[in-house]
Amino acid sequence: MSAPQEQPDPVRRSSFSFHDEAEITDFIRQTYAENATRFAPIRNGARFSALTNDTPVLGADRVRTSIDYTGTSTEGFSDYVFFVVHAGSVQVSSRDADTIAHGGDVAFYPLRVPVQFDMHGFDVTTMRLPADRIARVAEETTGVPAAELRFHGITPVSASMHRYWRSLLGLASGALMDPDSPLSSPLLAEDMARTVATAALHTFPNTTMTRGHVPGPGPITSAAVRRAAAYIEAHAHRPLQLGEIATAAGASARALQYGFRRHLGTTPLGYLRRVRLELARRDLHRADPTRGDTVAAIATRWGFANPGRFATAYRAAYGVLPGQTLRD
């Protein structure tokens, strides 16, 4: 019997263009945060335009304006909004952080604290990620409780991490904005969201970098690992998260990672990729090239966005290229 397939979830796109102060303020409120905004005199032809792109797990926008404005958000941002400035300037100030970002700079808006902003003729790309996503990844990978995650700064820790983060934002936002976005695949969107969350924890100063002793993962039984493996095999078609797998196994996320390394020589998410690779192999055997079935489509179905990397992983696992399996 065929395994169920996770249906594509098309990227939701919207386009806006305003010159009215109330409309701009409302867009900022609905997309980013509550705000009170003050505008410089709006010249003839000046516009505020935005293209938004959303999946259930992350979003990206391209925002351009020739209208200058300043404002405050007393409630602050409830989700993470990272940005890279292409032109103009963006100043962000809070009780703990203050930065002026110009062309090429990256930063983010601090979470759940009053924020002031000052915008001048800017062109930016933003990446939006739910706050709980980064907090969960921090707990799963470092043991720092999600409730204790704090960012101490809103700019990268080094020049090299600045370059890395800017490149990653370009990759993620470009994938979201592509008319035929690979992130319409829930599996690929989930992987990208986790990648961005993990990278943020390495790019911006936070408690996972400064906390001293973190308790060990605790005990883990082979039975718990077997439960987790069985859950992964039954639900590999879904965009699984580590916390969900750990709950099904009755273990903590860190303990489960330790148990998988000890008993299976990989991580839970590594095992998930192994299972998906085998399911892709099964589908390649069943496929018919004369019907229009392709390696790329089958790889994407199982969460492999890069055909070259899929081919490399496939040949390492099975000794042949996926195209040969499709043709046989």
The string of pLDDT tens digits covering residues 137-189 is 998 888 888 999 999 999 999 999 999 999 999 999 999 999 999 999 999 99
Is the same domain home to 129 and 185?
Answer: yes
pLDDT tens for the chain, 328 residues: list them: 345 555 566 899 999 999 999 999 999 999 999 999 999 998 888 999 999 999 999 999 999 999 999 999 999 999 999 999 999 999 999 998 899 999 999 999 999 999 999 999 999 999 999 999 999 999 888 888 899 999 999 999 999 999 999 999 999 999 999 999 999 999 999 999 999 999 999 999 999 987 654 555 667 888 899 999 999 999 999 999 998 999 999 988 888 988 999 899 999 999 999 999 999 999 999 999 889 999 999 999 999 988 899 999 999 999 999 999 998 8
* Domains in the chain, number: 2
CATH number of the domain to which 282 belongs: 1.10.10.60
Per the domain annotation, does 85 fall within a domain?
Answer: yes
Per the domain annotation, does 139 fall within a domain?
Answer: yes
Q: What is the DSSP letter of 77?
A: B
The number of CA neighbours under 13 Å toward the Cβ of 244 is 13
Kindly report the pTM of this predicted structure: 0.82
Is the same domain home to 104 and 28?
Answer: yes
For 234, residues 6+ apart whose C-beta sits below 8 A from its C-beta are: none
Is the same domain home to 149 and 40?
Answer: yes
How far are the Cα atoms of 19, 64, 73 from residue 49, in angstroms, in the given order? 9, 5, 21
What are the structure tokens assigned to 118, written together? 């000052």
Q: Which of 203, 238, 271 is the last residue of a domain?
A: 203
Per the domain annotation, does 3 fall within a domain?
Answer: no
Is the same domain home to 24 and 173?
Answer: yes
Q: Which of 203, 235, 269 is the last residue of a domain?
A: 203
Per the domain annotation, does 216 fall within a domain?
Answer: no
Is the same domain home to 33 and 130?
Answer: yes
How far are the Cα atoms of 13, 126, 196, 323 from residue 166, in angstroms, in the given order? 23, 11, 11, 34
Is the same domain home to 199 and 287?
Answer: no
Is the same domain home to 287 and 188?
Answer: no
Per the domain annotation, does 212 fall within a domain?
Answer: no
CATH number of the domain to which 162 belongs: 2.60.120.280
Per the domain annotation, does 208 fall within a domain?
Answer: no
Is the same domain home to 188 and 235?
Answer: no
Is the same domain home to 143 and 251?
Answer: no
* pLDDT tens for each residue of 122-140: 999 999 999 999 999 998 8
Tell me what pLDDT residue 213 has. 47
Per the domain annotation, does 41 fall within a domain?
Answer: yes
Is the same domain home to 55 and 145?
Answer: yes
Per the domain annotation, does 125 fall within a domain?
Answer: yes
Query: How many Cβ atoms are within 10 Å of 95's Cβ, its own excluded?
Result: 9
Amino acid identity, residue 183?
L
Which residue range is the domain that position 238 belongs to? 222-327
Contact of 61 with 125, CB cutoff 8 Å: yes
